[in-house]
Protein backbone atom coordinates (compact mmCIF):
# COMPACT_ATOMS: atom_id res chain seq x y z
CA UNK A 1 0.00 0.00 0.00
CA UNK A 2 1.33 3.43 -0.94
CA UNK A 3 2.25 5.85 1.81
CA UNK A 4 0.49 9.15 1.23
CA UNK A 5 2.03 12.31 2.73
CA UNK A 6 -0.17 14.18 5.21
CA UNK A 7 -0.76 17.28 3.01
CA UNK A 8 -1.77 15.02 0.10
CA UNK A 9 -4.19 13.13 2.36
CA UNK A 10 -5.67 16.46 3.47
CA UNK A 11 -6.02 17.57 -0.17
CA UNK A 12 -7.74 14.31 -1.02
CA UNK A 13 -10.13 14.71 1.91
CA UNK A 14 -10.89 18.32 0.95
CA UNK A 15 -11.48 17.26 -2.67
CA UNK A 16 -14.12 14.87 -1.36
CA UNK A 17 -15.61 17.09 1.36
CA UNK A 18 -16.14 20.29 -0.68
CA UNK A 19 -18.39 18.86 -3.41
CA UNK A 20 -20.10 16.55 -0.92
CA UNK A 21 -20.96 19.47 1.36
CA UNK A 22 -22.05 21.77 -1.47
CA UNK A 23 -24.18 19.12 -3.17
CA UNK A 24 -25.62 18.17 0.21
CA UNK A 25 -26.55 21.80 0.82
CA UNK A 26 -28.08 22.07 -2.63
CA UNK A 27 -30.26 19.02 -2.09
CA UNK A 28 -31.29 20.09 1.42
CA UNK A 29 -32.32 23.49 0.07
CA UNK A 30 -34.20 21.82 -2.79
CA UNK A 31 -36.02 19.05 -0.94
CA UNK A 32 -36.05 20.53 2.55
CA UNK A 33 -36.88 24.14 1.78
CA UNK A 34 -38.45 24.02 -1.71
CA UNK A 35 -35.72 26.05 -3.44
CA UNK A 36 -35.87 24.28 -6.79
CA UNK A 37 -32.84 24.64 -9.07
CA UNK A 38 -32.89 26.53 -12.33
CA UNK A 39 -30.91 25.35 -15.33
CA UNK A 40 -27.76 27.23 -14.31
CA UNK A 41 -28.02 25.75 -10.81
CA UNK A 42 -27.84 22.32 -12.42
CA UNK A 43 -24.81 23.41 -14.42
CA UNK A 44 -23.05 24.10 -11.10
CA UNK A 45 -23.88 20.65 -9.77
CA UNK A 46 -22.41 18.65 -12.67
CA UNK A 47 -18.74 19.55 -11.98
CA UNK A 48 -19.28 18.72 -8.30
CA UNK A 49 -20.56 15.26 -9.30
CA UNK A 50 -17.39 14.81 -11.37
CA UNK A 51 -15.22 16.05 -8.49
CA UNK A 52 -16.86 13.56 -6.13
CA UNK A 53 -16.15 10.69 -8.51
CA UNK A 54 -12.54 11.81 -9.02
CA UNK A 55 -11.96 12.21 -5.28
CA UNK A 56 -13.39 8.75 -4.60
CA UNK A 57 -11.11 7.31 -7.29
CA UNK A 58 -8.16 9.03 -5.60
CA UNK A 59 -8.96 6.99 -2.49
CA UNK A 60 -9.03 3.79 -4.53
CA UNK A 61 -5.74 4.53 -6.30
CA UNK A 62 -3.47 6.26 -3.76
CA UNK A 63 -1.76 8.62 -3.79
CA UNK A 64 -4.06 9.84 -6.59
CA UNK A 65 -2.35 13.20 -7.06
CA UNK A 66 -3.54 13.56 -10.66
CA UNK A 67 -7.10 12.67 -9.69
CA UNK A 68 -7.02 15.22 -6.89
CA UNK A 69 -5.81 17.88 -9.33
CA UNK A 70 -8.72 17.04 -11.66
CA UNK A 71 -11.19 17.12 -8.75
CA UNK A 72 -9.88 20.57 -7.74
CA UNK A 73 -10.27 21.75 -11.34
CA UNK A 74 -13.86 20.48 -11.43
CA UNK A 75 -14.61 22.26 -8.15
CA UNK A 76 -13.16 25.47 -9.59
CA UNK A 77 -15.27 25.08 -12.74
CA UNK A 78 -18.39 24.85 -10.60
CA UNK A 79 -17.28 27.98 -8.76
CA UNK A 80 -16.80 29.86 -12.03
CA UNK A 81 -20.24 28.80 -13.23
CA UNK A 82 -21.56 30.00 -9.86
CA UNK A 83 -19.87 33.38 -10.40
CA UNK A 84 -21.49 33.67 -13.83
CA UNK A 85 -24.89 32.67 -12.42
CA UNK A 86 -24.58 35.14 -9.54
CA UNK A 87 -23.81 37.86 -12.07
CA UNK A 88 -27.00 36.98 -13.93
CA UNK A 89 -28.97 37.09 -10.68
CA UNK A 90 -27.51 40.48 -9.74
CA UNK A 91 -28.24 41.85 -13.23
CA UNK A 92 -24.58 42.41 -14.12
CA UNK A 93 -24.99 40.55 -17.44
CA UNK A 94 -27.49 38.49 -19.42
CA UNK A 95 -27.81 34.76 -18.88
CA UNK A 96 -27.47 32.15 -21.60
CA UNK A 97 -30.74 30.35 -20.92
CA UNK A 98 -34.40 30.94 -20.46
CA UNK A 99 -36.29 29.98 -17.34
CA UNK A 100 -36.71 26.34 -16.46
CA UNK A 101 -39.34 24.35 -14.67
CA UNK A 102 -39.54 21.26 -12.49
CA UNK A 103 -41.95 19.11 -14.46
CA UNK A 104 -42.30 15.51 -13.37
CA UNK A 105 -45.22 13.48 -14.57
CA UNK A 106 -46.20 10.38 -12.61
CA UNK A 107 -47.90 7.41 -14.22
CA UNK A 108 -51.59 8.10 -14.63
CA UNK A 109 -51.26 11.89 -14.24
CA UNK A 110 -52.28 14.37 -16.84
CA UNK A 111 -49.06 15.61 -18.48
CA UNK A 112 -50.56 18.98 -19.35
CA UNK A 113 -51.69 19.49 -15.76
CA UNK A 114 -48.14 18.63 -14.59
CA UNK A 115 -46.69 21.26 -16.91
CA UNK A 116 -49.23 23.91 -15.99
CA UNK A 117 -48.87 23.35 -12.23
CA UNK A 118 -45.06 23.11 -12.15
CA UNK A 119 -43.25 26.07 -10.60
CA UNK A 120 -41.35 28.30 -13.01
CA UNK A 121 -37.75 28.69 -11.89
CA UNK A 122 -36.00 31.81 -13.14
CA UNK A 123 -32.23 31.88 -13.55
CA UNK A 124 -32.10 35.64 -13.14
CA UNK A 125 -33.82 35.76 -9.75
CA UNK A 126 -32.07 34.60 -6.59
CA UNK A 127 -34.61 32.57 -4.59
CA UNK A 128 -32.63 33.04 -1.37
CA UNK A 129 -29.67 35.04 -0.13
CA UNK A 130 -27.62 35.46 3.03
CA UNK A 131 -25.81 38.76 3.65
CA UNK A 132 -26.77 39.77 0.11
CA UNK A 133 -25.04 36.74 -1.43
CA UNK A 134 -27.16 34.26 -3.40
CA UNK A 135 -26.74 30.50 -3.38
CA UNK A 136 -24.80 30.78 -6.65
CA UNK A 137 -22.56 33.36 -5.03
CA UNK A 138 -21.97 31.13 -2.02
CA UNK A 139 -21.14 28.25 -4.37
CA UNK A 140 -18.57 30.51 -6.03
CA UNK A 141 -17.00 31.50 -2.71
CA UNK A 142 -16.86 28.00 -1.20
CA UNK A 143 -15.83 26.28 -4.43
CA UNK A 144 -13.00 28.69 -5.18
CA UNK A 145 -11.79 28.60 -1.57
CA UNK A 146 -11.91 24.80 -1.66
CA UNK A 147 -10.06 24.59 -4.98
CA UNK A 148 -7.43 27.06 -3.72
CA UNK A 149 -7.05 25.05 -0.50
CA UNK A 150 -6.58 21.84 -2.44
CA UNK A 151 -4.02 23.52 -4.71
CA UNK A 152 -2.12 24.84 -1.70
CA UNK A 153 -2.07 21.41 -0.08
CA UNK A 154 -0.94 19.76 -3.32
CA UNK A 155 1.94 22.20 -3.69
CA UNK A 156 2.83 21.83 -0.01
CA UNK A 157 2.44 18.06 -0.24
CA UNK A 158 4.71 17.94 -3.27
CA UNK A 159 7.44 19.70 -1.30
CA UNK A 160 6.94 17.37 1.68
CA UNK A 161 7.31 14.30 -0.53
CA UNK A 162 10.72 15.41 -1.82
List the CATH number of the domain containing 153.
1.20.1550
Return the percentage of the chain with pLDDT > 90, whole number: 43
Query: pLDDT tens for residues 68-112?
Result: 999 999 999 999 999 998 888 887 877 776 555 555 555 556 666
Return the percentage of the chain with pLDDT > 70, whole number: 75
Q: Which residues pair with 129 in a beta bridge?
A: 134
- The angle formed by the CA atoms of residues 81, 100 and 88, to the nearest 5 degrees, is 40
Q: Number of folded domains in the chain?
A: 1
**DSSP one-letter code for 63:** T
Residue 1 belongs to some domain of the structure:
no
Is 1 strand, coil or helix? coil
Question: For residue 34, what are the CA distances in angstroms to 30, 56, 90, 119?
Answer: 5, 29, 21, 10
Q: Which of 9-23, 80-94, 120-134, 147-161 has the highest mean pLDDT?
A: 9-23
Rg (CA), the chain: 18
Q: What is the pLDDT of residue 75?
A: 97
| Helix or strand holding residue 101 (H, E) | strand 100-101
- Mean confidence (pLDDT) of the chain: 82
Report which of residues 129 and 60 the model is more confident about.
Answer: 60
Residue 129 belongs to some domain of the structure:
yes
Amino acid sequence: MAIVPEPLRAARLLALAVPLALLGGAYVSQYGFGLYPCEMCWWQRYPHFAALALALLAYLRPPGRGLIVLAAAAIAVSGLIGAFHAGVEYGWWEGLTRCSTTVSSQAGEDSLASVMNAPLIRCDVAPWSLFGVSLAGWNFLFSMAGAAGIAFLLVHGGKAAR
